[in-house]
Structures are given as C-alpha cells and as structure tokens.
C-alpha cells in the first residue's frame, strides 16, 4: 500500500485544521504507508543485490573450476614434459653405453676374422662364435642410422667365412694326402723297405708341392675377401666415432 505525496499533504493540512476528529487514525495510515514503502523499496533493492551476489558467486565458482582445470592441465603438461626430458636423457645415456659395446664388438670381430686367416688344414676350423651377431643386434636396436653399414659389415663377414671354408676344404684334402704318404714313408723306414721308400719319398714331395700350390691358390681369394671386410669395418668404425663425438658434444651442451 503506497499513498501519493499530494494525498499525504492534503491529509496533513486537514488534520492540522482539525477537520477530522479521528486524526490519530489518519496519522497511523500515513505512518503505515511510509513504512510499507520503505519495506518494498528495501525488498526490491535486496532482491536485486541478492541476484547480483548469486551471479557473482556462480561466476566465481566457474572461475575457480576453470582455474582448477587449467592448473591440473598445466601440471600434467609439466609432468609429461619432465618425463619426456628424463626419457630423452636416459635414451642418450643408454645409446652412449651401447655405442661403446658396439665399438668393442667390431674390434673383437676383426680379431676373430684375423685368427682364421692362417690355418694349415690340421686344426679344426671354428666357424661359430663370431661377435658379428652382437654388432648386428646393437645396430638394429640402438643405432638404426648405422643399418646400411652394419648390414654390409655382416654380409662381408659371411662372404669371408664362406671363402675361408672353401679354402679350408681344399687345403684339408691336400694336407690329408700329404700326411697319408708321410705315414707310408715312416713305415717303409721302419721296415727298411728301401725300394718302397724311394717311391714314397717321391710321392711325398709331390704331395707337399700340391699342398703348397693349394695354399697359395686359396690365399689370394681369402685375402681379397679379408680386405673387403676390413674396408667396410673401417667405414663402420668411422660412423661409430661420429655418433660418439655427437653424443659427447650434446651431453656437454645439456
């Protein structure tokens, strides 16, 4: 209930002029109207402010939620980057260690090949146990950039081994024939069979010449195969050295 200012003024003048005998009633009406007006004004203002407060609260809650999500995302990114950085460092450390193993494996392979350059046909030729498979494995697992060199290295290793086995086979036949005649010569000496011994000595000389001929004939292809192998070996070792230098340089920078 709200009274106009004009009505209130008229009513007040009438009371003052004693036109109304029950003036207290009208004063009460005016007072009640004034209080009611104040109440509705306050309620309207309160409702408006409460709406603003609710909106601010909701916006603040949304901001907090977004901030929480952003912080969580940032932490996850930081953790991911930290893990990635650790993984890269760990990978580089492993590569450096494996690079040393690879380098040593190439030298051991060269030593293994060199030991098979010289054989007489008496001893057993061991074709197993070569470190070349370690070279191939390390290259495949840790150094894919060396794959062309390591594959060529492996193929030339196998080519040398094939050539060596063929040479050993021919030399072993010639050596076996020479030894067989040597046994016959020794037996003729023991039995003092002079006539037989003379013939056997001649045969033994021919067997020795044959053995020497085979040995010389097998030496050339064997050495050619060995030279091809060592040439590729040096190329592989040069590439390993380049990777080692780069790895050390990168670790100093980091």
Report helix angle 23-115 to 194-253, nearest 10: 160
Asked whether 147 and 139 are in contact (CB, 8 A), the reply is yes
Predicted local confidence at residue 24, as pLDDT: 57
Distance CA 46, CA 49 (A): 5
Cβ neighbours around 93 below 10 Å, total: 12
Average pLDDT value for residue range 74-87:
54
Nearest to 237 by CA among 128, 113, 105: 105
Residue with tokens 């003729």: 188
Confidence of residue 59 (pLDDT cuts 50, 70, 90): low
Higher pLDDT, 55 or 114: 114
Which pLDDT score is estimated for 1?
A: 46
d(CA 108, CA 74): 51
Quick one: tokens of 68? Answer: 């929480």
pLDDT of residue 201: 83
Tens of pLDDT along 159-181? 999 998 888 888 888 888 888 88
3-class SS at 245?
Answer: helix
Residue 53 above 70 pLDDT?
no
What share of the chain in percent tops pLDDT 70? 61
- Do residues 100 and 243 lie in contact, with contact meaning Cβ atoms separated by under 8 Å? no
| Per-residue pLDDT tens over the stretch 210-225 | 888 888 888 889 899 9
Distance in angstroms (rounded) separating the CA atoms of residues 3 and 186: 153
Work out the average pLDDT over 44-64.
Answer: 55
> What does the block give as tokens for 60?
């603040």
Q: What is the pTM of this model?
A: 0.59
Work out the average pLDDT over 53-71.
56
pLDDT at residue 2, rounded to an integer: 45
């Amino acid at each position: 209930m709200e009274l106009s200012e004009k009505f209130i003024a008229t009513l007040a003048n009438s009371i003052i002029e004693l036109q109304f005998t029950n003036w207290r009633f009208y004063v009460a009406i005016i007072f009640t109207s004034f209080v009611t007006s104040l109440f509705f004004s306050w309620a309207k203002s309160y409702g408006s402010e409460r709406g603003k407060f609710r909106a601010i609260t909701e916006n603040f809650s949304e901001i907090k939620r977004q901030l929480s999500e952003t912080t969580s995302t940032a932490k996850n990114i930081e953790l991911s980057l930290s893990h990635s950085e650790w993984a890269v460092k760990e990978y580089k450390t492993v590569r450096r260690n494996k690079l040393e193993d690879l380098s040593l494996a190439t030298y051991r392979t060269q030593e293994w090949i060199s030991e098979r350059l010289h054989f007489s046909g008496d001893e057993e030729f061991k074709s197993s146990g070569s470190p070349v498979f370690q070279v191939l494995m390390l290259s495949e697992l840790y150094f894919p950039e060396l794959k062309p060199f390591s594959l060529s290295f492996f193929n030339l290793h196998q080519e040398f081994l094939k050539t060596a086995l063929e040479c050993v086979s021919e030399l072993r036949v010639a050596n076996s024939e020479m030894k067989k005649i040597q046994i016959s010569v020794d037996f003729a000496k023991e039995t003092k069979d002079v006539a037989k011994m003379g013939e056997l000595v001649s045969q033994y000389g021919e067997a020795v010449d044959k053995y020497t001929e085979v040995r010389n004939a097998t030496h050339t292809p064997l050495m050619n195969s060995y030279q091809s192998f060592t040439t590729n070996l040096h190329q592989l070792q040069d590439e390993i050295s380049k990777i080692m230098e780069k790895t050390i340089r990168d670790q100093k920078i980091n």
